[in-house]
């Protein structure tokens, strides 16, 4: 098993730098926000955080490729850093503290690139989560001050807590009826949104979560944290990993049922 400790340590350094920059502009009265071609918002803080991470990676890992939400792909090779500078931009620009910088290292392997390191840093919540392949998943203030994560052992859907982002995407894909049936079958539902449901699945606070439409940078870091905590992370098609354009995550025990409901079509 390769040792990813140096890469994980670097990801923490990158997250520290991004946290300082994004927190400096959080709730700034003069924050500039634009609309991208896909009609989603992007702030000056998104762009600045990605530029900062890219510049540090180019110095520390010049041979590695970089894929980011704001500036696309740069470089080639078997190792690729995947960055979402602010996951939850809509929250960020409204002053809601639920947003995070997502940093993942992916390596070429069977079935394409797979995440081997992931850091999810939510400075406005004072929280950070991370994982490296074969090394487990953790949360805490730093590498030396951390608690290991484990998914829940809830095995009945009627006892499960289900987290999601919104209803609109499910309706657009014709999956809303299955989604609503799932909400009736579980014990509890909450719309936490973005990265947070996946981290709560990893912590064992939530048992299942799903989103109908995502990009690779939304999922790569989340995927390895969930799986290293003992959970399952797939697309709605059941394909393991962050490659399906959507996501379903669970404690593993409820995964087949989760996919069954969300793939109902009427």
Question: Which residue ranges make up the annotated binding site?
Answer: 69, 84, 86-87, 218
Token pair of 65, please?
């490729």
Residues annotated within the binding site for Mg(2+) are 69, 84, 86-87, 218
Sign of CA dihedral 211, 216, 222, 228: positive
Closest CA to 53 of 121, 133, 145: 121
Closest CA to 231 of 202, 258, 189: 202
Start-to-end Cα distance in the chain: 45
CB 162 within 8 A of CB 250: no
Biggest CA–CA distance in the chain, Å, is 52
Q: What is the DSSP string of 21-81?
A: HHHHHTT-TT--EEE-TTS-EEEHHHHHHHHHHHHHHHHH-TTSEEEETTTEEE--SSEEE
How far is Cα 265 from Cα 261, in angstroms, rounded to an integer? 9
3-class DSSP string for 188-222: EEECCCCCHHHHHHHHCCCCEEEECCCCHHHHHHH
């Amino acid at each position: 098993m390769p040792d990813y400790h140096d890469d994980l340590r670097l990801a923490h350094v990158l997250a520290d730098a991004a946290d300082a920059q994004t927190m400096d502009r959080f709730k700034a009265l003069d924050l500039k926000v634009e609309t991208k071609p896909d009609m989603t918002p992007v702030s000056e803080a998104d762009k600045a955080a990605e530029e900062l991470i890219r510049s540090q990676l180019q110095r520390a890992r010049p041979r590695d490729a970089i894929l980011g939400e704001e500036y696309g792909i740069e470089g080639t090779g078997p190792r690729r850093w995947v960055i979402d500078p602010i996951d939850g931009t809509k929250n960020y620009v409204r002053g809601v503290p639920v947003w995070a910088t997502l940093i993942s290292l992916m390596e070429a392997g069977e079935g394409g690139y797979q995440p081997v390191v992931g850091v999810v840093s939510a400075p406005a919540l004072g929280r950070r989560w991370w994982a490296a392949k074969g090394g487990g998943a953790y949360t805490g203030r730093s590498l030396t001050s951390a608690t290991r994560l484990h998914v829940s052992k809830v095995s009945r859907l009627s006892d499960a807590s289900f987290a999601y982002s919104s209803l609109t995407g499910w309706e657009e894909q014709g999956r809303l009826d299955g989604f609503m049936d799932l909400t009736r079958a579980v014990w509890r539902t909450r719309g936490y949104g973005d990265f947070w449901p996946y981290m709560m699945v990893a912590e064992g606070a939530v048992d299942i979560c799903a989103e109908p439409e995502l990009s690779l940078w939304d999922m790569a870091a989340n995927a390895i944290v969930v799986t290293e905590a003992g959970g399952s992370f797939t697309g709605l098609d059941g394909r393991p990993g962050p490659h399906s354009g959507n996501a379903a995550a669970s404690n593993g025990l409820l995964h087949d049922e989760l996919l069954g409901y969300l793939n109902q079509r009427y």
